[in-house]
Chains A and B, each alone.
Chain A
Amino acid sequence: MVPSCVNNRFKTCSVLPHIITRIISHLVYSVNSVSSVTYAVSLFFFFGAAAMEGRCAVETWAVGLSGTSCTPRVKFGLGTDVFFCTGSDEVYVFSTQERKLTAVLQFPDPVSDLVGSHDKQLLYVACRSGVYCVSLQFQLSRAPSSPADASSSLAELKIPSEFLVVAEEGVLSVLLVGSVFLTLSQTDTSWMLTLYKSSNYEMLSSFSLPLVSGVVHSDTEGQTAMRKRPVLICVHSNDATPPSSSEATLTDGHVRLESVLFKLLFGIDAALAKSPVILCGLPDGCLCFLPLRHPGSRLRVLRSLEQPVVFVGASVVMERGPGHAQCLVAVGELGKVVLIKTDKGGSEGGGNRTGFIEGCVPGPVMCGCVDKNCLYYSTGSDLLVLDLSEGLSRREGQEKDEETSRKTEAALRSPTSLNVCRVAALAEPTCNTAGEVQLLGLSVRGQLQRITLPAGREDARLSKEPSALVGRSVRDLLSAIGDVCERASVLKTAIKSKNQILRHLNQVLNISFLLIASASSEEHLPIQEKPIRCHGVTSWSRLLQKDSLNLTCVLDNPSPYILERGWTLSVAVFPLSYPPSAGGESSSTNFSFPFHNLHPGETLEVSLPLAAAGEASFPMTVSCSLIFSLASLLGEEAANLPGLQSSCISLPLNTLTVDWLHVLQVNSPIATHKKATSQSNNTTDTLQAFLRSRRIRCSGRGEGGGESASKPEREYSASIRVSSELLRDTLLLKSSDLDAHVQKWPPQNVGLSLLEWMLSEGPGGVTTGHQGDKIALSSSVVHAQGPDGHTVKLTAKEVNVEEGSAEKEESQTAVEVQVESSSIAAVCGLHHAVLRRVQTLLQRAPEKAASTKGVQSLGLRQVLQRAEHLLQQIQQSRISGAFGVGVSTGQMTRSLLSVYRELRENPLLIV
Chain B
Amino acid sequence: MYLVTFQFAFTSFFQQRGGGDALSPDQNKPHLRWCSSEFHKLLKKIQGIPPLADYLQLELTVVYNVCLCSTAQSQFSEAELLLTQATERVLQMTGDAPVASDPPVFWRTVINSVGDTALNPCVLYLLCLQWAIWLSTCQLKIIQECQLFSVFETLSTGVWDEGRSELREKSSDIPLLVMDPRRLIELLQICTIIAQGAESLSEGRSSEALSGLQTASSLPAPRTLIAYTHLLSGSCLAHMSCPQMALQCYRKALETDSRCVCALYQSMLIYRQLGNTQAEIQGLRLLHSTLMLPFATEPALADTRLLSPSLLLRSQSLSSLLSVPSALSVLHNLALKCVHHGRVSDGVEYYLDLLAVLHSEDQHGVHAEGPPLPSLPELYLQAGAALLMARRPADCMALCDEVITTTLELLPEKVVLAEPEEKCEAETRALCAEGDDRVAMLLWAGAAYLLQGHCHTQLKDWKQAVTHYTRCFNLLVKARFKKGSNADMVGKQGTDLCILQKLKGLSLAGRGISFTQTDQLREALRDLQLSMQAFPECVSAGLWCGEVLWRLGRRWEAAACWEKTWSFTPQFSVESLSVYLQEPQSGPLLDSSELRRRIQELGPPLSA
Contacts and interface: CB of A to CB of B under 8 A. Distances in A.
A345 B55 CA distance: 83
A352 B438 CA distance: 10
Nearest to B45: A882
B410 A296 contact: no
A297 interface: yes
A271 interface: yes
Contact of A350 (B364, B403, B414): B414
Contact of B410 (A204, A260, A884): A260
Contacts, number: 100
Contacts of B10: none
Contacts of B414: 349-350
Nearest to A346: B413
A264 B1 contact: no
B376 A260 contact: no
B363 A295 contact: yes
A178 interface: yes
A259 interface: yes
B268 interface: no
A292 B365 contact: yes
A687 interface: no
Nearest to A878: B49
Q: For the complex, would chain B's binding face be called helix, strand, loop or mixed by DSSP majority?
A: loop
A741 interface: no
A296 B368 contact: yes
Contacts of A264: 410
A478 interface: no
Contacts of A298: 365, 367
Nearest to A354: B434
Interface in A118-152: none
Contacts of A272: 376-377, 380, 402-403, 406
Contacts of B1: 882-884
A263 B328 contact: no
Interface in B6-41: none
Contacts of A271: 406
Interface string A201-220: 00011010000000000000
Interface residues of B, number: 39
B406 A351 contact: no
A239 B406 CA distance: 10
Contacts of B377: 268-269, 272
A116 B367 CA distance: 29
Interface in B347-396: 358-368, 372-373, 375-377, 380
A259 B410 CA distance: 10
Given A205-B365, A272-B380, A295 B358 contact: yes
Contacts of A413: none
A261 to B, nearest CB: 10
A879 to B, nearest CB: 7
Contacts of A269: 375-377
B365 A260 contact: no
B142 interface: no
Contacts of A350: 412-414
Interface string A165-180: 0000000000000111
Contacts of B359: 273-274, 293
A379 B8 CA distance: 59
A205 B413 contact: no
Which of B359, B402, B410 has the most C-beta atoms of chain A within 10 angstroms of its own C-beta?
A: B410
B427 interface: no
Interface in B47-83: 48-50, 55
Contacts of A294: 358, 365, 376
A470 B363 CA distance: 63
Contact of B415 (A205, A349, A882): A349
Q: Give the interface size class of chain A.
A: 35 or more
Contacts of B409: 259-260, 263, 352
Given A269-B375, A272-B380, A295-B328, A351 B412 contact: yes
A270 to B, nearest CB: 9
Nearest to A180: B364
B376 A273 contact: yes
Contacts of B360: 293
Contacts of B403: 272
B410 A292 contact: no
B97 to A, nearest CB: 24
A288 to B, nearest CB: 14
B483 to A, nearest CB: 17
B373 A296 contact: yes
A166 to B, nearest CB: 13
A293 B372 contact: no
Interface string A235-275: 00001000100000000000000011001100011011110
A879 B50 CA distance: 9
B224 interface: no
A277 to B, nearest CB: 11
A363 interface: no
A709 B103 CA distance: 66
Contacts of A205: 364-367
Contacts of A178: 361
A223 B375 CA distance: 44
B25 to A, nearest CB: 14
Interface in B325-365: 326, 328, 358-365
Contacts of A273: 358-359, 376
Contacts of A274: 359
Nearest to A291: B365
A350 B475 CA distance: 14
A294 B361 CA distance: 10
Nearest to B438: A351
A577 to B, nearest CB: 21
Contacts of A351: 410-413, 438
B200 interface: no
A349 B417 CA distance: 12
Contact of A243 (B358, B361, B375, B402): B361
A290 interface: yes
B410 A293 contact: no
B501 interface: no
B367 A296 contact: yes
Nearest to B372: A296
B407 interface: yes
A180 B364 CA distance: 9
B49 to A, nearest CB: 6
Contact of A290 (B49, B365, B373, B402): B365
A195 interface: yes
Nearest to B440: A268
Which of A272, A273, A883, A884 has the most C-beta atoms of chain B within 10 angstroms of its own C-beta?
A: A272
A204 B361 CA distance: 12
A302 to B, nearest CB: 14
B496 to A, nearest CB: 16
Nearest to B359: A273
A274 B361 CA distance: 10
B552 to A, nearest CB: 40
Which of B326, B365, B444 has the most C-beta atoms of chain A within 10 angstroms of its own C-beta?
A: B365
A272 B55 CA distance: 72
A203 to B, nearest CB: 10
Nearest 5 CB-CB pairings of A with B: A350-B413, A351-B412, A297-B365, A272-B376, A269-B376
Interface of B: 1, 48-50, 55, 326, 328, 358-368, 372-373, 375-377, 380, 402-403, 405-407, 409-415, 438, 441, 444
11 contacts: A269-B376, A271-B406, A272-B376, A293-B361, A296-B365, A349-B412, A350-B412, A352-B409, A879-B50, A882-B49, A883-B1
Interface of A: 178-180, 195, 204-205, 207, 239, 243, 259-260, 263-264, 268-269, 271-274, 290-298, 345, 349-352, 879, 882-884
Given A268-B377, A351-B411, A879-B50, 20 more contacts: A179-B361, A205-B365, A205-B367, A263-B406, A263-B410, A268-B376, A269-B375, A273-B358, A273-B359, A293-B360, A293-B365, A294-B358, A295-B326, A295-B365, A297-B365, A349-B414, A351-B412, A351-B438, A352-B409, A883-B55
